[in-house]
Amino acid sequence: MRERLEISLLGPVSVRSEGGTCAVRSRPQRTVLARLALEPNRVVSAGTLIDVLWGHDPPPNATGNLHSYVSKLRRLVGPDRIRREHGGYRLEVDPDAVDTARVERLAAGAEELDAPGRAAALGEALALWVGEPLADLDDVEALVPDRMRLAALRHELDVRRMAALVDAGDHVAVLPRLREAAAQDAYDETIVVLLARALHGAGRTAEALRTLSGFRRHLREGTGLDPSSELTRIEQSIVHDDPALRGVGPRLRGPAPGSLPATAEWPRFATPLHGREEELVRLDDLVGTQPVVTVTGTGGIGKSRLACAVADRRSGSGQAVHFLPLAALAADDDLPARLAAALGVRVPGGQDPVHAVHRRIGSGGQLLVLDSCEHVLDPVRRLVEALLARRSDLTVLTTSRTPLGLTAECVVRIGPLAEAGDAGCRVFLDRARRVRPGFRSDGADEEVIRSVVRGLGGLPLAIELAAGRMASMSLRDLAARIDDLDLLTDGRPTERHRTLRAAIDWSYRLLPEPARRLLRTLSAFPGGADLATVEELAPHLQLPGGGASEVVALAEASLLDAELERSARYAMLEPVRAFARERLDEAQEAAAACSLRAAWARRTAAWIEDTCRSPDEAVADARLRSDVANLRVAHRTARLGGDLDTAIAISAALTRPATARDLPEVWSWALDLVAHPALPEHQRGADGLGAAATAAWLTGDLDGAARLATDGLRRDPTSVACLQALGSVRLFLGQPETARQLWVAASRPHGAYLPQAALAAVYTGDADLARRSLAAADAWAADVGSPTEVALCRYAWGELLGPDRAALGEYEESIALASGVGATFVASISRVGLASTLAVNGHHRRAIDELVTVIRYWRTTGNWTQQWTTLRNVAALLDALGRPSTAAGIRAAAARASAAAAEPGALVEAVGGPDPRPAATPETLVALVLAELTEVRREVGPDAG
């Protein structure tokens, strides 16, 4: 029997065995152990461990050093407890061996207990903290989110325990802790309500009512807000001595266990958020209690910056956050569809996108941030109303110059930085020191800086723009020219926008004409641009030297915001972009900029398609993701403006890369082409129909996909796009030989669909044909060097070799190759095959883990065609594990589903199955299957070695 082991992370990292407590003296070993123990019994990739150890600067022999640390750890925790699997390591321990896992179990189980039991369980969980989480690793950057999450969990459990003690009637005992908590956060309504209930329960009703009225007054004076209706209800219950009051412990809102991760990044800032500490605290509190919160204020006041700070806080505490910038959204764009695309949700044909979005983020206390809503208020209002009307516990945070006007909306108006305070000066100094390293200010300088801040009305963006001129001006010259340029205002709200416009115009007029020309043109690129894009534009804009010096000038003037984490990329804040668009129209350059953008989009889409079929695929993947906003507006403008050449070229080039990556927004653009009256006669009409056919297939509309592809082949029998789309449809209709022939025909120009043809050959059952096809596909994929194409071949080999154990390596290699270049679709279908082979070979736990991962993935993307294939694999596993009723129910549902691939004999087997229950909706079925898999995993024994 194994020696009992306990690992502590809620304090300094330590290990306790039957022989006593052992400190892990080596810092690298502590770091590796902490990362593994934070995810016990799950594989942590070697890359993740290397990032935790060394960040962005690993040593040349990082992999070897990591292996050495793991070897030494094995001597400490046991040689069989750290296993090497799938390119990573797994710490194999009992569920309660790690204190963080034990806390989570106690916290989850507490909800099933009565109030005294809940208080005891939560007290037991809190007692496991012996200090700050990971206290001896507090400077490891990669562990900061975990430390923040655990600190937030401790606070949540503390409040839940206090609520449980109040519910249990233990009022006197809990009063000291409630008073302490209320003193620590004077705006926490949940704590104040608990304190009032405890005071009332302890016979101190007058003090309870004074506490509530004092909180109401304090909240109004400090924030201008009223408390929630819950506080008023509790106050009335106390006044009337309502007997039911003792059983109404408030529930905290927060992310549900296993809630989905954030799906979008938001800007991160290198400098602190100055002067907004109170607003940030207030917003953070409101986001925890109100369904809709809107931050309003004039342009350049810092609304987006504040929303990003709230997103940082919420994400750091473990809440799932989704961020959607709307600055580039046109008034007639389909906002729900855009949000679904940003979330990676595939919307089946004919389904309401709001339904798909709600299914993705409508539960688990998640946060949706919609940034820059003022120009699309009506669509935002309709979307938010629709989401919240569906019994959602979603919180929506918006930024807008104008409130949405919703009944449930809580509005927070932010004004300029205090002109007499230090915050504006700190903003100025931060920016000045970035453009002039080494700049120091003395006492006399500080008064000059204050005069500049006052002259700019305390507007943060205007202050940054002014400070940006410190690269080429002295402080006193700068201050003098503010007066000359009439930038001083009386600070009235109606004047602030004029101040911002003047500040931007000031920086703009100081630029040389080539830099102004570039700024105007870049306003047509809402997703920003990298230097390569600028270099493409440079000859058309007559920029000397490729435009690099103009980019530097714009960045130094704060008219472009530089993102330098990976490769340099430059974007405009929305007020700057609005100003630049006005200058573009004034210069009568809008049509030329649109034309340049269209030409850029055609070249970029073609380059992405070609490069995705090369060893540099990862570069193309990054380019596709970073330029989606620019490609979107180019496609939309071209389609609406009658430039079908550009719209078809973009869709035809990007459909295959977007399919491999499950980017529904990108491949769905092709569906918009179908209704265009000029498409049938266009010289590339067949390519447009083929791209639309692939999109229809991906939504599960197999009939529509076949019709579109067939129409395209009537126009051009050699259309690669139509041949490959029809091949996909035929394979899913159970016609592998027809699919193979179609893919072979599609491969004649350049071999691109040989891996798919080989896969279809596997499904014909002709082993000789399959091996010949796979040999040809292998040779082609090796020649082009694309990781995704090689991954498809490895997947096809796995399908041929399965269920033999030899298939495992093929699937695992496919997953690794595809994941490395963002091809999540390819990785996921390989994961399905891996799970099936694992199950047949008795590795039931690993099979269940893989199936749960991929089911959740298909649910997120909305790919029901692949989901039904996965669920049929689940049915086979459940049959083998003695759960025939659920397995039959899955098969019956798949037989009825129009999006499910055809399966020989499936309909007969399903109809004859023993499950008499009424059919569940697909979403309900998935939830039931996930619950059943979790239960089965607990029952099955550990996998063989």
Model confidence at 459: pLDDT above 80: no
Ordered alpha helix ranges (H), 587-675: 590-611, 617-626, 628-640, 644-660, 664-668
β-pair partners for 571 = 561
pTM, full prediction: 0.60
Q: What residue spans in the chain does CATH classification 1.10.10.10 cover?
A: 5-119, 513-588
Q: What residue spans in the chain does CATH classification 3.40.50.300 cover?
A: 277-413
Model confidence at 289: pLDDT above 80: yes
CATH of domain 139-247: 1.25.40.10
Contact assessment for residue 217 and residue 209, using Cβ atoms and an 8 Å cutoff? no
Measured distance CA(224)–CA(232) in Å, rounded? 17
Contact assessment for residue 691 and residue 684, using Cβ atoms and an 8 Å cutoff? no
Measured distance CA(214)–CA(187) in Å, rounded? 11
Question: Quick one: average pLDDT of 604-616?
Answer: 95
* β-sheet with 395-400: strand ranges across: 321-325, 367-371, 395-400, 292-296, 409-413
* CATH 3.40.50.300, domain 277-413, yes or no: yes
Check residue 85 and give its pLDDT. Answer: 80
End-to-end CA distance of the chain: give it in Å, rounded.
16
β-pair partners for 321 = 367
Q: Name which residue leads in pLDDT, 490 or 213.
A: 213
Check residue 883 and give its pLDDT. Answer: 84
Q: Name which residue leads in pLDDT, 650 or 108.
A: 650
Measured distance CA(540)–CA(594) in Å, rounded? 13
Q: Which of 701-710, 713-722, 917-926 has the lowest mean pLDDT?
A: 917-926
In one letter, which amino acid is 747?
A: S
Check residue 525 and give its pLDDT. Answer: 94
Helix crossing, 685-698 with 720-732: angle to 10°?
20
Check residue 704 and give its pLDDT. Answer: 92
Instruction: Map residue 98 onto helix, strand or coil.
Output: strand
Q: What is the pLDDT of residues 755-797, one digit of tens each?
A: 999 999 999 999 999 999 999 999 999 999 999 999 999 999 9
Q: Name which residue leads in pLDDT, 749 or 619.
A: 619
- Name the most confidently modeled range: 417-421, 435-439, 673-677: 673-677
The percent of residues in the chain predicted with pLDDT above 70, rounded, is 88
Q: What is the pLDDT of residues 661-703, one digit of tens each?
A: 988 889 989 999 998 888 988 999 999 999 999 999 888 788 9
DSSP for 551-594, written as a single string = HHHHHHTTSSEEE-SSS-EEE--HHHHHHHHHHHHHTT-HHHHH
Check residue 383 and give its pLDDT. Answer: 93
Q: Note the CATH architecture for domain 5-119.
A: Orthogonal Bundle (1.10)
pLDDT band for 247, please (50, 70, 90 cuts): very low
Q: What residue spans in the chain does CATH classification 1.25.40.10 cover?
A: 139-247
Q: Which of 79-88, 663-672, 702-711, 835-844 has the lowest mean pLDDT?
A: 79-88
6 class by beta-carbon count within 10 Å (0-12 exposed, 13-18 middle, 19+ buried): middle
Q: What is the pLDDT of residues 722-734, one digit of tens each?
A: 999 999 999 988 8
Measured distance CA(817)–CA(240) in Å, rounded? 67
CATH class as words, domain 513-588: mainly alpha
